[in-house]
Amino acid sequence: MATPALAAETLPVGRPGLSLEQFVPPIGSGVAAIPTARTLDMLDYSLDFFLDYAKSPLTVMGGKAIVAHQVTGQLRAALGLGPVEVGLGLPMTLFQRTDFADAQHTFNAVALGDLRLGVKGRMTPADSMIGAALDLESSFPTGGGDHFSSEPGADLLGRLVFDLNAGAFSLDTFGGYRYRTTAVRYVNLYLFDELVAGGGVSYAVLPERLSLFAQTWLAWGLHGDPAVPGKEPTRNEMPFEALFGARVDLPQGFRATLGAGPGLTIGYGTPTFRAVLALGYTSPHRSAPVPPEMAPRPEREAQPKRLPPPPLPPPPAVPKLEAPAPRENIVQRVTVTKERVEIEEKIQFDTDSAKIKTESYALLKRLAEVMNEHSELKKVLIAGHTDERGGAGYNRELSLERAKSVKRFLTNYGVESDRLAARGFGFDMPLVPDAKTDDEHEKNRRVEFEILQRR
């Protein structure tokens, strides 16, 4: 913050009523400081802890820092509810130092920040190439407006979020409005309503393993101080910074993020340098144990019906059919239509499991060949379905895990991962509604391949 050269003893004492933290990770799905239009799957949850260091986020003319160093920890938790995601965040200043210790007698190195609650609603299909969502967050003054870690009133932040997923590249951007219930005044700063915007690009160096990202975000103050006639917002009320880094996806749903970047303006809370380290966890898609009274009856996996062999014709009349021609039959099993990739046989799994039976390997190998031959198929949805026996949550998880198993098989045989999306529908989309017989349940248990995009 560039201000007139103020003597140390003229700085305000007591509660500043100003939060300097400009690195505010989204409560739900996002990359570092930028939200995405994606949401967690039903009842999936995520936990993240961010640790960031800011150098000189608040200074006066001449280089002395009202806040010279600040280290903040931020805890985030989110829960997926289908197309909706809810969550909360709590920041806490863990360490800070000032060059004006004599003037700021109440300056504490450790302080609680403001609790944030958020909800995000996805407005586009989960597997859409272009995504859109409405993101709402509100903060509450749990920190009491003290120690440059909290503000005296609540605020409401509304953002429209868009993302574009194009193979290894993804673009995320947002724009919105921040409304404060209480204006903030400190030295020559006046903070009230703001416009906010930001964006970032990510590149998957190793899909689902390592991604690099670059992002930036900023805010514009909309009001000058009404107590000062003619005063308009200045660069002091326009924080703007950038961050560059990498995200590593670890086994069992864990991830780590490391980033650093400069401040790009003299706006409040904008440091000369920021470094970020984050650790996170997202619950894997696993079938939860089912109580005995809720457990589904064991599925009877669909087996090709074996009819008794027909009477053998006279030897010279018809060639023997006992010896199958596997390769020729396989070639006929997969057909590309306008909207689907059709398979003539069902993919077989072990009972109550996502493990593919070996008898389906030949079919899936042929499916991989067809996918590789038809490069115009840019995005194909692998949709898992179950019958209606058992709990809804159990069957949705089982169908998702089976779809993921098929995706892994196809990628192992050369199909690019970003051309495939896996989703489990449980028993929400039966071919035979109100199925009663084993044959009807068998028809509902299936894996289908829907063409979402063509090149």
Mean pLDDT of 228-246: 91
Domains, the chain, ranges and CATH?
Answer: 8-282 (2.40.160.40), 326-454 (3.30.1330.60)
Mean pLDDT of 441-447: 91
Contact 35, 159 (CB under 8 A): yes
The whole-number average pLDDT for the span 364-374 is 92
| Residue 311, pLDDT score | 57
What pLDDT score was predicted for residue 436?
A: 87
Residue 206's pLDDT is 82
pLDDT of residue 102: 64
pLDDT of residue 61: 63
User: What is the pLDDT, as a whole number, of residue 125?
Assistant: 82
pLDDT tens digits, 22-56: 999 998 888 899 999 989 888 889 999 999 999 99
pTM, 2 dp: 0.64
Out of 257-271, 272-286, 352-366, give the one with best mean pLDDT: 257-271
Q: What is the pLDDT of residue 13?
A: 57
Residue 5 has pLDDT above 90, yes or no: no
Q: What is the chain's mean pLDDT, rounded? A: 84
**How far is C-alpha 225 from the geometric centre of its chain's CA atoms?**
38
Give the dihedral sign, CA 207/208/214/217.
Answer: positive
Q: For the segment 384-438, what is each residue's pLDDT rounded down to a tens digit? A: 999 888 877 788 888 988 999 999 999 989 999 889 999 989 888 899 988 889 8
- Report percent pLDDT > 90 for the chain: 49
- Per-residue pLDDT at 301 exceeds 90: no
**pLDDT, tens digit, for every residue of 316-335?**
444 444 444 444 444 447 99
Percent of the chain with pLDDT over 70: 83
Determine the pLDDT at residue 87. 96
Residue 189 has pLDDT above 90, yes or no: no
